[in-house]
Structure 1
């Protein structure tokens, strides 16, 4: 979440007038995240999230995301559906951007997950995957392994302005990981971004899975590898939390037991997850508008994780 597009209170009040949600009481921009503009909106009836879609989210993909959330919600997953207006429309335009009003879910995202929280999150991902087994929608992964080298090339020598070591580290990792990327395996729609800040919790209970705007068709285990890389380290990526990592895998494996073959490819998938997020964080670091209300994220937190998986991945996923 972030704020790139400013929404005047008068425009928001007019927008809310299309819905049966009460009248505007307060609105606050949300700085976390990097993709879309998000506001916390309180009305006389309830609390909502207003999302304006920016950057990587194509307007033509929004019906896919809406159908995905409806599918998951219908099967009991804790996801936030969009609110229809009085004419039944889910997708709107506000301040020149596609926009949706989304139901607010209770809970908080944790920054340093405990093993019980990680176990619950692993179970929640497995439940999501089980629910998506019969989802017929598809969306290509525009940030999959085939996109990493072109993105690396677009960043180019500007990577040196972040850290002179960043470019050679990523170049070596790309050379190592891309040729080994698994071409088979269980393909389905995955979340592809289930970081701790996209999981809402009350204590050790998952109350919400949010921000599905990277959801795409890819390897099911890649989703688990992304989640592992995000949940099982301290935020700077300096220290691996083995008890958190074990709990996460065990929680997921309660629904989807992992074969030895699957465990063998997880180190490559985890290294790929690190390359993907290091590259997109670097790109956003270099291209974030100066006036955007957004918290930039350090790509080096993911090159540190990358080094860990390169050296220890075989043992982590045994």
Structure 2
């Protein structure tokens, strides 16, 4: 509610107790997976639809806005992303289970009170898309260490937490490495665009796109969801 209080502009908003974690551990990843799955289940009958404005068909226009200057960031980057985008466009899945996803569930959007998850915030990018794509976004956001290494223990915890509430079906499990590549490319492209176009002194905080290039390369070497910590018994047949 916007208005005035004592002659001054005022806003009244709800407040969520808790704080986001700077150094999440495996047990926190498990809680995030569980909460994300509960959100997916709870939203299964939500009637309003909102298309994902940053999914596969949107990546090429976003890339073209930065492509000509990409090699300023890293020599050879333009050709590498050309190949990656062409590959993803040719193989992106079409018939996976869909629903309402958060689409931006990074650590700063998840609040904890000590080790108890207290809530999810910032649904600005929430939309309808593949449910497993949300899992892929979280693998990228929660399960890599500062040095760029994938933490298998965190990956297993996140997926185990998710599948304790909602099982992945066989097609979702098979597509997870591809979805993780796509999620990495999506955040790489938005970061690259901001890196190249944001003027000095702007309110936008520029984030290094090469962090997500490293993740993109990692996912390109993954052959099955088991390499993220997903187990066969967690697959819905």
Structure 1 and Structure 2 fold alike (TM over 0.5): yes
The answer on 1:187 being equivalent to 2:187 is no
Closer, same or farther in 2 for the Cα pair 1:305/1:23, shift >3 Å?
farther
**Equivalent-residue separation in structure 2 for 1:177 and 1:111 (angstroms):** 32
Structure 2: state its 5+ residue gaps.
232-237
The answer on 1:306 being equivalent to 2:216 is yes
The answer on 1:266 being equivalent to 2:176 is yes
Q: Tell me if structure 1 keeps the 8 A contact 2:51–2:128.
A: yes
- Which of 157, 162, 171 is the matching residue for 1:247? 157
- Which of 41, 61, 69 is the matching residue for 1:150? 61
Higher relative contact order (CA 8 A, sep 6+): 2
Structure 2 counterpart of 1:164: 75
Output the TM-score relative to the length of structure 2: 0.88
**Equivalent-residue separation in structure 2 for 1:202 and 1:302 (angstroms):** 29
- Secondary structure of residue in 2 paired with 1:304: helix
- Is the radius of gyration larger for structure 1 or structure 2? 1
Instruction: Note the alpha carbon deviations across 1:160-189, whole angstroms, 9 max, x for none.
Output: 222224322222211221211110021112
Structure 1 counterpart of 2:135: 224
More helix by share: 2
- Which of 121, 124, 128 is the matching residue for 2:39? 128
Deviation at 1:225, TM superposition (A): 0.7
1:1-318 pair list within 5 angstroms: 16-17=3-4, 102-235=13-146, 238-314=148-224, 315-316=227-228, 317-318=230-231
Structure 1: state its 5+ residue gaps.
1-14, 25-42, 44-49, 51-82, 84-101
Q: Tell me if structure 1 keeps the 8 A contact 2:18–2:113.
A: yes
